[in-house]
Structure 1
Protein backbone atom coordinates (compact mmCIF):
# COMPACT_ATOMS: atom_id res chain seq x y z
CA UNK A 1 0.00 0.00 0.00
CA UNK A 2 1.17 3.53 -0.80
CA UNK A 3 0.39 6.37 1.61
CA UNK A 4 0.04 9.96 0.45
CA UNK A 5 -0.73 13.02 2.51
CA UNK A 6 -3.05 15.23 0.49
CA UNK A 7 -4.81 18.58 0.59
CA UNK A 8 -8.20 19.30 -0.96
CA UNK A 9 -8.45 22.71 -2.63
CA UNK A 10 -10.88 24.61 -4.84
CA UNK A 11 -11.12 27.70 -7.01
CA UNK A 12 -14.72 28.79 -7.71
CA UNK A 13 -15.83 25.21 -7.11
CA UNK A 14 -13.29 23.64 -9.48
CA UNK A 15 -11.79 21.22 -6.97
CA UNK A 16 -8.50 19.35 -6.77
CA UNK A 17 -6.56 16.89 -4.67
CA UNK A 18 -2.98 18.12 -4.22
CA UNK A 19 0.04 16.31 -2.87
CA UNK A 20 3.74 17.01 -2.58
CA UNK A 21 6.36 14.88 -4.37
CA UNK A 22 9.38 17.22 -4.61
CA UNK A 23 11.80 14.59 -5.94
CA UNK A 24 9.34 13.00 -8.38
CA UNK A 25 9.42 9.59 -6.71
CA UNK A 26 5.69 9.03 -6.13
CA UNK A 27 3.74 9.43 -9.38
CA UNK A 28 0.23 8.04 -9.35
CA UNK A 29 -1.18 5.77 -12.04
CA UNK A 30 -4.22 6.86 -14.06
CA UNK A 31 -6.36 4.30 -12.22
CA UNK A 32 -5.20 5.62 -8.83
CA UNK A 33 -6.03 9.17 -9.90
CA UNK A 34 -9.48 8.11 -11.10
CA UNK A 35 -10.00 6.30 -7.77
CA UNK A 36 -9.10 9.41 -5.79
CA UNK A 37 -11.33 11.67 -7.91
CA UNK A 38 -14.38 9.38 -7.69
CA UNK A 39 -17.05 11.37 -5.84
CA UNK A 40 -18.73 8.29 -4.39
CA UNK A 41 -15.82 6.04 -3.43
CA UNK A 42 -12.86 8.44 -3.30
CA UNK A 43 -12.07 11.93 -2.08
CA UNK A 44 -13.87 13.47 -5.04
CA UNK A 45 -12.26 16.05 -7.33
CA UNK A 46 -12.05 17.38 -10.86
CA UNK A 47 -8.36 16.45 -10.96
CA UNK A 48 -5.16 15.66 -9.07
CA UNK A 49 -2.18 18.03 -8.84
CA UNK A 50 1.28 16.78 -7.92
CA UNK A 51 3.85 19.33 -6.74
CA UNK A 52 7.19 18.29 -8.26
CA UNK A 53 10.42 20.22 -8.58
CA UNK A 54 10.89 20.97 -12.26
CA UNK A 55 14.37 19.49 -12.22
CA UNK A 56 12.88 16.01 -11.62
CA UNK A 57 10.60 15.84 -14.69
CA UNK A 58 11.38 15.90 -18.43
CA UNK A 59 8.61 18.48 -18.91
CA UNK A 60 10.07 20.40 -15.99
CA UNK A 61 13.43 20.58 -17.74
CA UNK A 62 11.67 22.31 -20.62
CA UNK A 63 10.12 24.76 -18.16
CA UNK A 64 13.52 25.53 -16.62
CA UNK A 65 14.94 26.13 -20.09
CA UNK A 66 12.17 28.69 -20.61
CA UNK A 67 12.55 30.28 -17.15
CA UNK A 68 15.24 29.16 -14.71
CA UNK A 69 13.19 30.46 -11.76
CA UNK A 70 10.35 27.96 -12.41
CA UNK A 71 11.37 25.70 -9.51
CA UNK A 72 7.98 24.00 -9.20
CA UNK A 73 6.05 22.07 -11.82
CA UNK A 74 2.26 21.62 -11.67
CA UNK A 75 1.80 17.99 -12.73
CA UNK A 76 -1.93 18.03 -13.39
CA UNK A 77 -4.20 15.11 -14.32
CA UNK A 78 -7.91 15.12 -15.12
CA UNK A 79 -10.39 13.08 -13.10
CA UNK A 80 -10.04 10.14 -15.49
CA UNK A 81 -6.27 10.08 -14.98
CA UNK A 82 -5.35 11.64 -18.32
CA UNK A 83 -2.66 14.35 -18.24
CA UNK A 84 -3.68 17.93 -19.01
CA UNK A 85 -1.63 20.80 -20.37
CA UNK A 86 -2.91 23.55 -18.08
CA UNK A 87 -5.60 24.49 -15.58
CA UNK A 88 -6.33 28.13 -14.82
CA UNK A 89 -8.15 27.49 -11.55
CA UNK A 90 -5.78 24.67 -10.63
CA UNK A 91 -2.65 26.79 -10.92
CA UNK A 92 -4.06 29.37 -8.48
CA UNK A 93 -4.90 26.62 -5.99
CA UNK A 94 -1.47 25.08 -6.62
CA UNK A 95 0.28 28.34 -5.71
CA UNK A 96 -1.85 28.66 -2.57
CA UNK A 97 -0.79 25.12 -1.66
CA UNK A 98 2.91 25.86 -2.22
CA UNK A 99 2.67 28.95 -0.02
CA UNK A 100 0.64 27.37 2.78
CA UNK A 101 2.92 24.33 2.99
CA UNK A 102 6.10 26.41 3.00
CA UNK A 103 7.34 25.08 -0.34
CA UNK A 104 7.49 28.57 -1.86
CA UNK A 105 7.23 32.24 -0.92
CA UNK A 106 5.43 35.04 -2.74
CA UNK A 107 5.63 38.58 -1.41
CA UNK A 108 3.13 41.25 -2.45
CA UNK A 109 4.04 42.58 -5.87
CA UNK A 110 6.25 39.62 -6.72
CA UNK A 111 5.65 36.92 -9.32
CA UNK A 112 6.01 33.15 -8.94
CA UNK A 113 6.90 31.22 -12.11
CA UNK A 114 5.23 27.79 -12.37
CA UNK A 115 6.07 25.09 -14.89
CA UNK A 116 3.19 23.43 -16.76
CA UNK A 117 2.87 21.25 -19.86
CA UNK A 118 1.72 24.39 -21.69
CA UNK A 119 4.86 26.30 -20.66
CA UNK A 120 5.76 28.57 -17.74
CA UNK A 121 2.95 30.61 -16.21
CA UNK A 122 3.47 33.60 -13.88
CA UNK A 123 1.24 34.01 -10.82
CA UNK A 124 0.75 37.05 -8.56
CA UNK A 125 -1.41 37.82 -5.55
CA UNK A 126 -4.31 40.21 -6.07
CA UNK A 127 -7.41 41.41 -4.22
CA UNK A 128 -9.52 38.41 -5.28
CA UNK A 129 -6.83 35.84 -4.48
CA UNK A 130 -4.36 35.22 -7.29
CA UNK A 131 -3.89 36.29 -10.89
CA UNK A 132 -2.19 34.10 -13.49
CA UNK A 133 -0.85 35.21 -16.84
CA UNK A 134 -2.19 32.47 -19.11
CA UNK A 135 0.11 33.57 -21.92
CA UNK A 136 -0.68 33.97 -25.59
CA UNK A 137 -3.89 32.63 -27.05
CA UNK A 138 -4.73 31.60 -30.58
CA UNK A 139 -7.79 31.04 -32.69
CA UNK A 140 -7.41 27.34 -33.39
CA UNK A 141 -9.74 24.53 -34.27
CA UNK A 142 -11.93 26.51 -36.68
CA UNK A 143 -15.70 26.68 -36.18
CA UNK A 144 -16.88 23.09 -35.63
CA UNK A 145 -20.50 22.14 -35.11
CA UNK A 146 -21.37 21.23 -31.51
CA UNK A 147 -24.30 19.14 -30.34
CA UNK A 148 -25.23 18.88 -26.67
CA UNK A 149 -28.01 16.89 -25.04
CA UNK A 150 -31.18 18.98 -24.48
CA UNK A 151 -30.04 21.73 -26.87
CA UNK A 152 -32.46 21.56 -29.82
CA UNK A 153 -30.06 22.05 -32.75
CA UNK A 154 -26.36 21.82 -33.51
CA UNK A 155 -24.62 25.16 -33.51
CA UNK A 156 -21.20 26.47 -34.52
CA UNK A 157 -18.47 26.84 -31.93
CA UNK A 158 -15.25 28.81 -31.98
CA UNK A 159 -11.98 26.95 -31.42
CA UNK A 160 -9.54 28.73 -29.08
CA UNK A 161 -6.14 27.49 -27.89
CA UNK A 162 -5.25 28.55 -24.35
CA UNK A 163 -2.36 26.10 -24.12
CA UNK A 164 -5.15 23.54 -23.90
CA UNK A 165 -7.97 23.20 -26.48
CA UNK A 166 -11.39 24.85 -26.17
CA UNK A 167 -14.53 25.19 -28.26
CA UNK A 168 -16.87 28.02 -27.22
CA UNK A 169 -20.56 27.90 -28.13
CA UNK A 170 -23.06 30.77 -27.85
CA UNK A 171 -26.57 29.90 -26.66
CA UNK A 172 -29.73 31.97 -26.97
CA UNK A 173 -30.56 32.75 -23.35
CA UNK A 174 -30.31 31.65 -19.72
CA UNK A 175 -33.05 29.07 -20.13
CA UNK A 176 -31.19 27.37 -22.97
CA UNK A 177 -27.94 27.46 -21.00
CA UNK A 178 -29.64 25.91 -17.97
CA UNK A 179 -31.31 23.22 -20.08
CA UNK A 180 -28.09 21.78 -21.54
CA UNK A 181 -27.31 18.36 -20.06
CA UNK A 182 -23.54 18.43 -19.71
CA UNK A 183 -23.38 15.08 -17.94
CA UNK A 184 -23.01 13.81 -21.52
CA UNK A 185 -19.95 14.63 -23.60
CA UNK A 186 -20.85 17.25 -26.24
CA UNK A 187 -20.36 16.02 -29.79
CA UNK A 188 -17.90 18.11 -31.83
CA UNK A 189 -17.83 17.77 -35.62
CA UNK A 190 -15.16 17.50 -36.89
CA UNK A 191 -13.76 15.98 -33.70
CA UNK A 192 -10.53 17.58 -32.42
CA UNK A 193 -7.63 15.13 -32.45
CA UNK A 194 -7.04 15.42 -28.71
CA UNK A 195 -10.55 16.41 -27.65
CA UNK A 196 -11.49 19.79 -26.21
CA UNK A 197 -13.15 21.55 -23.31
CA UNK A 198 -16.52 22.89 -24.46
CA UNK A 199 -17.89 26.14 -23.04
CA UNK A 200 -21.51 27.24 -23.44
CA UNK A 201 -21.94 30.96 -22.93
CA UNK A 202 -24.67 33.61 -22.79
CA UNK A 203 -24.13 37.39 -22.39
CA UNK A 204 -25.64 39.37 -19.57
CA UNK A 205 -27.96 42.25 -20.39
CA UNK A 206 -26.36 44.69 -20.99
CA UNK A 207 -23.23 42.93 -22.23
CA UNK A 208 -20.97 45.77 -21.06
CA UNK A 209 -21.41 47.67 -17.81
CA UNK A 210 -18.93 50.25 -16.47
CA UNK A 211 -16.49 49.21 -19.18
CA UNK A 212 -16.47 45.53 -18.18
CA UNK A 213 -17.91 42.74 -20.32
CA UNK A 214 -20.21 40.31 -18.52
CA UNK A 215 -21.04 36.74 -19.49
CA UNK A 216 -22.33 33.55 -17.91
CA UNK A 217 -20.81 30.16 -18.72
CA UNK A 218 -21.10 26.42 -18.18
CA UNK A 219 -18.42 23.94 -19.22
CA UNK A 220 -17.82 20.29 -19.99
CA UNK A 221 -14.14 19.61 -19.34
CA UNK A 222 -12.29 16.99 -21.35
CA UNK A 223 -11.54 14.06 -19.03
CA UNK A 224 -13.56 15.42 -16.10
CA UNK A 225 -17.14 16.10 -17.25
CA UNK A 226 -19.14 19.15 -16.21
CA UNK A 227 -17.30 21.19 -13.58
CA UNK A 228 -18.41 24.18 -11.54
CA UNK A 229 -15.71 26.30 -13.15
CA UNK A 230 -12.88 26.21 -15.68
CA UNK A 231 -10.29 28.98 -15.60
CA UNK A 232 -8.86 28.60 -19.08
CA UNK A 233 -12.42 28.00 -20.27
CA UNK A 234 -13.56 31.31 -18.76
CA UNK A 235 -10.72 33.05 -20.59
CA UNK A 236 -11.64 31.29 -23.84
CA UNK A 237 -15.31 32.24 -23.41
CA UNK A 238 -14.46 35.90 -22.83
CA UNK A 239 -12.15 35.91 -25.85
CA UNK A 240 -14.84 34.33 -28.03
CA UNK A 241 -17.53 36.82 -27.01
CA UNK A 242 -15.13 39.71 -27.55
CA UNK A 243 -14.33 38.29 -30.99
CA UNK A 244 -18.02 38.02 -31.85
CA UNK A 245 -18.84 41.49 -30.45
CA UNK A 246 -16.25 43.28 -32.58
CA UNK A 247 -13.55 45.89 -32.14
CA UNK A 248 -15.53 48.03 -29.67
CA UNK A 249 -15.70 45.20 -27.12
CA UNK A 250 -13.74 45.70 -23.87
CA UNK A 251 -10.57 43.92 -22.74
CA UNK A 252 -11.84 43.28 -19.20
CA UNK A 253 -14.50 40.68 -18.46
CA UNK A 254 -16.44 39.20 -15.58
CA UNK A 255 -17.30 35.56 -16.12
CA UNK A 256 -19.99 34.02 -13.92
CA UNK A 257 -19.73 30.24 -13.55
CA UNK A 258 -21.80 27.88 -11.36
CA UNK A 259 -19.07 28.03 -8.69
CA UNK A 260 -18.65 31.82 -8.54
CA UNK A 261 -17.02 34.59 -10.57
CA UNK A 262 -13.60 35.01 -12.17
CA UNK A 263 -12.02 37.98 -13.90
CA UNK A 264 -10.41 37.91 -17.34
CA UNK A 265 -8.17 40.64 -18.76
CA UNK A 266 -6.52 40.85 -22.18
CA UNK A 267 -3.35 42.91 -22.52
CA UNK A 268 -0.60 43.49 -25.12
CA UNK A 269 2.96 42.20 -24.73
CA UNK A 270 6.02 42.10 -26.97
CA UNK A 271 5.17 38.57 -28.14
CA UNK A 272 1.46 39.19 -28.72
CA UNK A 273 -1.70 39.54 -26.68
CA UNK A 274 -1.82 37.70 -23.35
CA UNK A 275 -4.78 36.82 -21.15
CA UNK A 276 -4.81 37.07 -17.35
CA UNK A 277 -7.20 35.17 -15.09
CA UNK A 278 -7.96 36.22 -11.53
CA UNK A 279 -10.04 34.62 -8.81
CA UNK A 280 -10.08 32.93 -5.42
CA UNK A 281 -8.10 29.86 -4.39
CA UNK A 282 -8.90 28.07 -1.14
CA UNK A 283 -7.55 25.03 0.69
CA UNK A 284 -10.39 23.04 2.24
CA UNK A 285 -8.89 20.20 4.30
CA UNK A 286 -6.01 17.76 4.59
CA UNK A 287 -5.98 13.98 4.94
CA UNK A 288 -4.14 10.73 4.35
CA UNK A 289 -4.88 8.14 1.67
CA UNK A 290 -3.88 4.48 1.44
CA UNK A 291 -3.68 3.43 -2.21
CA UNK A 292 -3.17 -0.04 -3.64
Structure 2
Protein backbone atom coordinates (compact mmCIF):
# COMPACT_ATOMS: atom_id res chain seq x y z
CA UNK A 1 0.00 0.00 0.00
CA UNK A 2 1.13 3.55 -0.76
CA UNK A 3 0.11 6.19 1.75
CA UNK A 4 -0.85 9.63 0.53
CA UNK A 5 -1.99 13.02 1.73
CA UNK A 6 -4.05 15.76 0.11
CA UNK A 7 -3.06 19.37 0.74
CA UNK A 8 -3.22 22.86 -0.68
CA UNK A 9 -1.49 26.23 -0.63
CA UNK A 10 -4.02 29.02 -1.25
CA UNK A 11 -6.27 26.36 -2.84
CA UNK A 12 -3.61 25.22 -5.31
CA UNK A 13 -4.04 21.54 -4.42
CA UNK A 14 -1.83 18.48 -4.55
CA UNK A 15 -1.76 14.75 -3.92
CA UNK A 16 1.42 13.81 -2.04
CA UNK A 17 2.59 10.22 -2.45
CA UNK A 18 4.86 8.77 0.24
CA UNK A 19 7.82 7.03 -1.37
CA UNK A 20 10.80 7.72 0.92
CA UNK A 21 12.88 4.84 -0.44
CA UNK A 22 12.12 5.41 -4.13
CA UNK A 23 10.16 2.22 -4.83
CA UNK A 24 7.05 3.67 -6.47
CA UNK A 25 6.58 3.37 -10.22
CA UNK A 26 5.08 6.79 -10.88
CA UNK A 27 3.71 6.90 -14.43
CA UNK A 28 1.97 9.73 -16.33
CA UNK A 29 -1.14 7.54 -16.41
CA UNK A 30 -1.18 7.24 -12.60
CA UNK A 31 -0.65 10.98 -12.22
CA UNK A 32 -3.55 11.77 -14.55
CA UNK A 33 -5.77 9.29 -12.71
CA UNK A 34 -4.96 10.66 -9.25
CA UNK A 35 -5.45 14.25 -10.45
CA UNK A 36 -8.84 13.58 -12.03
CA UNK A 37 -11.50 15.45 -10.04
CA UNK A 38 -14.20 12.87 -10.77
CA UNK A 39 -12.44 9.53 -11.15
CA UNK A 40 -9.48 10.20 -8.85
CA UNK A 41 -8.54 12.24 -5.81
CA UNK A 42 -8.51 15.55 -7.66
CA UNK A 43 -5.50 17.86 -7.77
CA UNK A 44 -3.59 20.45 -9.76
CA UNK A 45 -0.50 18.30 -9.40
CA UNK A 46 1.09 15.24 -7.80
CA UNK A 47 4.17 15.30 -5.56
CA UNK A 48 6.21 12.16 -4.90
CA UNK A 49 7.83 12.51 -1.47
CA UNK A 50 11.16 10.75 -1.81
CA UNK A 51 14.63 11.04 -0.31
CA UNK A 52 17.02 12.73 -2.72
CA UNK A 53 19.49 9.84 -2.62
CA UNK A 54 16.76 7.31 -3.45
CA UNK A 55 15.67 9.47 -6.40
CA UNK A 56 19.22 9.68 -7.76
CA UNK A 57 19.54 13.34 -6.79
CA UNK A 58 23.01 14.28 -5.60
CA UNK A 59 21.98 17.37 -3.67
CA UNK A 60 22.23 19.04 -0.27
CA UNK A 61 18.53 18.67 0.47
CA UNK A 62 17.65 15.33 2.06
CA UNK A 63 14.16 15.29 0.49
CA UNK A 64 13.30 15.58 -3.20
CA UNK A 65 10.01 17.19 -4.23
CA UNK A 66 9.26 15.14 -7.35
CA UNK A 67 6.57 17.41 -8.82
CA UNK A 68 4.25 16.53 -11.73
CA UNK A 69 1.49 18.53 -13.41
CA UNK A 70 -1.99 17.04 -13.54
CA UNK A 71 -1.56 16.10 -17.22
CA UNK A 72 1.38 13.83 -16.34
CA UNK A 73 4.17 16.19 -17.40
CA UNK A 74 7.10 16.96 -15.12
CA UNK A 75 7.74 20.50 -13.88
CA UNK A 76 10.85 22.12 -12.46
CA UNK A 77 9.18 22.93 -9.14
CA UNK A 78 6.10 24.47 -7.55
CA UNK A 79 6.08 27.36 -5.09
CA UNK A 80 2.80 26.48 -3.41
CA UNK A 81 3.62 22.78 -3.56
CA UNK A 82 6.95 23.33 -1.80
CA UNK A 83 5.20 24.70 1.28
CA UNK A 84 2.71 21.83 1.31
CA UNK A 85 5.61 19.42 0.81
CA UNK A 86 7.36 20.75 3.93
CA UNK A 87 4.12 20.75 5.95
CA UNK A 88 3.66 17.10 4.97
CA UNK A 89 7.23 16.18 6.00
CA UNK A 90 6.55 17.79 9.38
CA UNK A 91 3.25 15.94 9.79
CA UNK A 92 4.92 12.62 8.96
CA UNK A 93 7.69 13.34 11.48
CA UNK A 94 10.37 13.06 8.81
CA UNK A 95 11.77 16.49 9.67
CA UNK A 96 11.59 18.90 12.60
CA UNK A 97 11.32 22.62 12.03
CA UNK A 98 11.01 25.12 14.84
CA UNK A 99 9.95 28.75 14.41
CA UNK A 100 12.57 30.55 12.31
CA UNK A 101 14.36 27.35 11.29
CA UNK A 102 14.76 26.33 7.66
CA UNK A 103 15.09 23.10 5.73
CA UNK A 104 16.68 22.55 2.31
CA UNK A 105 14.51 20.78 -0.26
CA UNK A 106 15.66 19.42 -3.59
CA UNK A 107 13.67 20.24 -6.73
CA UNK A 108 14.34 20.00 -10.46
CA UNK A 109 14.86 23.76 -10.27
CA UNK A 110 17.61 23.41 -7.66
CA UNK A 111 18.00 23.16 -3.89
CA UNK A 112 15.89 25.74 -2.06
CA UNK A 113 15.55 26.75 1.62
CA UNK A 114 12.12 26.81 3.24
CA UNK A 115 11.72 28.68 6.54
CA UNK A 116 8.94 28.28 9.10
CA UNK A 117 7.26 31.53 10.19
CA UNK A 118 4.35 30.74 12.50
CA UNK A 119 1.56 29.30 10.36
CA UNK A 120 3.35 30.38 7.18
CA UNK A 121 6.31 29.04 5.23
CA UNK A 122 8.79 31.11 3.22
CA UNK A 123 10.74 29.65 0.32
CA UNK A 124 13.64 31.42 -1.37
CA UNK A 125 13.37 30.59 -5.07
CA UNK A 126 16.88 31.87 -5.71
CA UNK A 127 18.16 33.53 -8.87
CA UNK A 128 15.72 35.04 -11.35
CA UNK A 129 15.90 37.15 -14.48
CA UNK A 130 13.77 38.88 -17.07
CA UNK A 131 14.28 36.48 -19.96
CA UNK A 132 14.85 39.24 -22.50
CA UNK A 133 17.22 41.16 -20.24
CA UNK A 134 17.42 44.97 -19.98
CA UNK A 135 16.08 45.38 -23.53
CA UNK A 136 12.83 43.64 -22.60
CA UNK A 137 12.57 45.72 -19.41
CA UNK A 138 13.01 48.92 -21.44
CA UNK A 139 10.38 47.79 -23.97
CA UNK A 140 8.05 46.50 -21.26
CA UNK A 141 7.52 43.20 -23.07
CA UNK A 142 9.13 40.55 -25.23
CA UNK A 143 6.15 38.42 -26.36
CA UNK A 144 2.52 38.78 -27.41
CA UNK A 145 -0.25 36.91 -25.58
CA UNK A 146 -3.70 36.29 -27.05
CA UNK A 147 -6.78 35.34 -25.03
CA UNK A 148 -10.11 34.28 -26.60
CA UNK A 149 -12.03 37.26 -27.95
CA UNK A 150 -9.23 39.75 -27.29
CA UNK A 151 -6.47 41.33 -29.41
CA UNK A 152 -2.86 40.35 -28.67
CA UNK A 153 -1.45 41.90 -25.49
CA UNK A 154 2.18 42.53 -24.52
CA UNK A 155 3.73 40.08 -22.06
CA UNK A 156 7.01 40.00 -20.16
CA UNK A 157 8.85 36.67 -19.82
CA UNK A 158 10.35 35.83 -16.41
CA UNK A 159 12.80 32.97 -15.85
CA UNK A 160 12.25 31.72 -12.31
CA UNK A 161 12.52 27.95 -11.76
CA UNK A 162 9.53 27.56 -14.07
CA UNK A 163 9.01 29.70 -17.21
CA UNK A 164 6.46 32.52 -16.87
CA UNK A 165 4.88 35.26 -18.97
CA UNK A 166 3.14 38.12 -17.17
CA UNK A 167 0.42 40.30 -18.73
CA UNK A 168 -1.03 43.47 -17.17
CA UNK A 169 -4.68 44.51 -17.53
CA UNK A 170 -6.17 47.92 -16.71
CA UNK A 171 -8.97 46.87 -14.35
CA UNK A 172 -10.40 44.03 -12.29
CA UNK A 173 -13.59 43.67 -14.37
CA UNK A 174 -11.58 42.73 -17.46
CA UNK A 175 -9.49 40.33 -15.38
CA UNK A 176 -12.56 38.60 -13.96
CA UNK A 177 -14.19 38.27 -17.40
CA UNK A 178 -11.09 36.76 -19.02
CA UNK A 179 -11.60 33.33 -20.60
CA UNK A 180 -8.94 30.95 -19.27
CA UNK A 181 -10.74 27.73 -20.18
CA UNK A 182 -8.23 27.39 -23.03
CA UNK A 183 -4.51 28.07 -22.98
CA UNK A 184 -3.46 31.59 -23.99
CA UNK A 185 -1.43 31.75 -27.20
CA UNK A 186 2.08 33.08 -26.59
CA UNK A 187 4.11 34.30 -29.57
CA UNK A 188 6.94 33.53 -30.06
CA UNK A 189 5.97 30.21 -28.51
CA UNK A 190 8.30 29.16 -25.65
CA UNK A 191 9.97 25.82 -26.49
CA UNK A 192 8.91 24.16 -23.22
CA UNK A 193 5.63 25.97 -22.73
CA UNK A 194 4.97 28.58 -20.07
CA UNK A 195 2.70 29.63 -17.25
CA UNK A 196 0.78 32.82 -17.99
CA UNK A 197 -0.03 35.24 -15.16
CA UNK A 198 -2.50 38.08 -15.67
CA UNK A 199 -2.40 40.94 -13.18
CA UNK A 200 -4.11 44.18 -12.26
CA UNK A 201 -2.19 46.61 -9.99
CA UNK A 202 -4.24 47.71 -6.97
CA UNK A 203 -1.70 50.07 -5.37
CA UNK A 204 -1.04 53.70 -6.31
CA UNK A 205 1.59 53.45 -9.05
CA UNK A 206 2.23 57.20 -9.17
CA UNK A 207 4.18 57.18 -5.89
CA UNK A 208 6.64 54.75 -4.33
CA UNK A 209 4.96 52.62 -1.67
CA UNK A 210 6.41 50.09 0.75
CA UNK A 211 4.02 47.35 -0.39
CA UNK A 212 2.89 46.67 -3.93
CA UNK A 213 -0.51 45.05 -4.40
CA UNK A 214 -1.64 42.92 -7.35
CA UNK A 215 -4.72 40.88 -8.17
CA UNK A 216 -3.86 37.85 -10.30
CA UNK A 217 -5.25 34.95 -12.29
CA UNK A 218 -3.08 32.26 -13.84
CA UNK A 219 -3.14 29.60 -16.55
CA UNK A 220 -0.53 26.94 -15.73
CA UNK A 221 1.04 24.77 -18.39
CA UNK A 222 -0.06 21.20 -17.86
CA UNK A 223 -2.86 22.10 -15.43
CA UNK A 224 -5.01 24.90 -16.91
CA UNK A 225 -6.37 27.68 -14.73
CA UNK A 226 -5.59 27.09 -11.06
CA UNK A 227 -6.69 28.90 -7.92
CA UNK A 228 -3.12 29.98 -7.25
CA UNK A 229 0.45 29.62 -8.54
CA UNK A 230 3.31 30.25 -6.14
CA UNK A 231 6.14 30.82 -8.61
CA UNK A 232 3.62 32.71 -10.73
CA UNK A 233 2.94 35.25 -7.98
CA UNK A 234 6.68 35.84 -7.68
CA UNK A 235 6.97 36.25 -11.46
CA UNK A 236 4.05 38.69 -11.37
CA UNK A 237 5.75 40.79 -8.69
CA UNK A 238 9.04 40.78 -10.62
CA UNK A 239 7.31 41.89 -13.83
CA UNK A 240 5.40 44.64 -12.00
CA UNK A 241 8.66 45.68 -10.38
CA UNK A 242 10.30 45.94 -13.81
CA UNK A 243 7.39 47.96 -15.20
CA UNK A 244 7.33 50.29 -12.19
CA UNK A 245 11.04 51.21 -12.40
CA UNK A 246 12.12 53.52 -9.57
CA UNK A 247 8.61 53.72 -8.08
CA UNK A 248 8.23 49.95 -7.72
CA UNK A 249 8.55 48.44 -4.22
CA UNK A 250 10.45 45.28 -3.28
CA UNK A 251 7.62 43.85 -1.15
CA UNK A 252 4.33 42.66 -2.62
CA UNK A 253 0.92 41.34 -1.67
CA UNK A 254 -0.63 39.15 -4.37
CA UNK A 255 -4.34 38.29 -4.21
CA UNK A 256 -5.19 35.08 -6.08
CA UNK A 257 -8.49 33.23 -6.35
CA UNK A 258 -7.52 30.99 -3.43
CA UNK A 259 -6.20 33.60 -1.00
CA UNK A 260 -3.21 35.89 -0.49
CA UNK A 261 0.53 35.38 -0.88
CA UNK A 262 3.50 37.65 -0.14
CA UNK A 263 6.64 38.19 -2.19
CA UNK A 264 9.96 39.81 -1.25
CA UNK A 265 12.36 40.65 -4.07
CA UNK A 266 15.81 42.10 -4.55
CA UNK A 267 18.16 42.87 -7.41
CA UNK A 268 18.05 45.11 -10.47
CA UNK A 269 15.02 45.55 -12.71
CA UNK A 270 16.18 42.65 -14.89
CA UNK A 271 17.82 40.11 -12.55
CA UNK A 272 18.53 39.15 -8.97
CA UNK A 273 19.83 36.40 -6.72
CA UNK A 274 16.80 36.04 -4.43
CA UNK A 275 13.02 36.08 -4.57
CA UNK A 276 11.04 34.88 -1.55
CA UNK A 277 7.48 33.57 -1.44
CA UNK A 278 5.48 33.38 1.81
CA UNK A 279 2.13 31.73 2.37
CA UNK A 280 0.14 29.03 4.15
CA UNK A 281 0.12 25.26 3.69
CA UNK A 282 -2.80 23.03 4.69
CA UNK A 283 -3.04 19.22 4.87
CA UNK A 284 -6.70 18.24 4.52
CA UNK A 285 -6.71 14.43 4.25
CA UNK A 286 -4.59 11.29 4.49
CA UNK A 287 -5.14 7.74 3.31
CA UNK A 288 -3.91 4.73 1.38
CA UNK A 289 -4.09 4.03 -2.33
CA UNK A 290 -5.91 0.83 -3.22
TM-score, scaled to structure 1: 0.92
1:191-206 to 2 correspondences below 5 Å: 191-206=189-204
1:254, distance to aligned residue in structure 2 (A): 0.1
TM-score, scaled to structure 2: 0.92
Q: Where does residue 160 of structure 1 map in the other structure?
A: 158
Q: Where does residue 107 of structure 1 map in the other structure?
A: 98
3-state SS, counterpart of residue 56 of structure 1: coil
Paired with 2:289 and 2:184, the residues of 1 have a C-alpha distance of 33
Paired with 1:154 and 1:248, the residues of 2 have a C-alpha distance of 27
Cα shift readout 1:105-156 (whole Å, capped 9, x = no counterpart): 1122221000000000100011451000010101116611100124x21111
* Range with bigger deviation, 156-165 or 139-148: 139-148
Q: Does 1:86 align with 2:77?
A: yes
Q: Does 1:120 align with 2:111?
A: yes
1:71, distance to aligned residue in structure 2 (A): 0.4
1:37, distance to aligned residue in structure 2 (A): 0.3
Question: Given that residues 196 and 222 in structure 1 are in contact (C-alpha distance below 8 angstroms), is that contact kept between their aligned partners in structure 2?
Answer: yes
Paired with 1:226 and 1:178, the residues of 2 have a C-alpha distance of 13
CA RMSD, aligned part only? 1.7
Question: Given that residues 128 and 278 in structure 1 are in contact (C-alpha distance below 8 angstroms), is that contact kept between their aligned partners in structure 2?
Answer: no
* Range with bigger deviation, 168-177 or 205-214: 205-214
3-state SS, counterpart of residue 246 of structure 1: helix
Question: Given that residues 5 and 288 in structure 1 are in contact (C-alpha distance below 8 angstroms), is that contact kept between their aligned partners in structure 2?
Answer: yes
- Runs of 4+ that moved beyond 6 A: none
1:267-278 to 2 correspondences below 5 Å: 267=266, 272-278=272-278
Question: Given that residues 203 and 212 in structure 2 are in contact (C-alpha distance below 8 angstroms), is that contact kept between their aligned partners in structure 1?
Answer: no
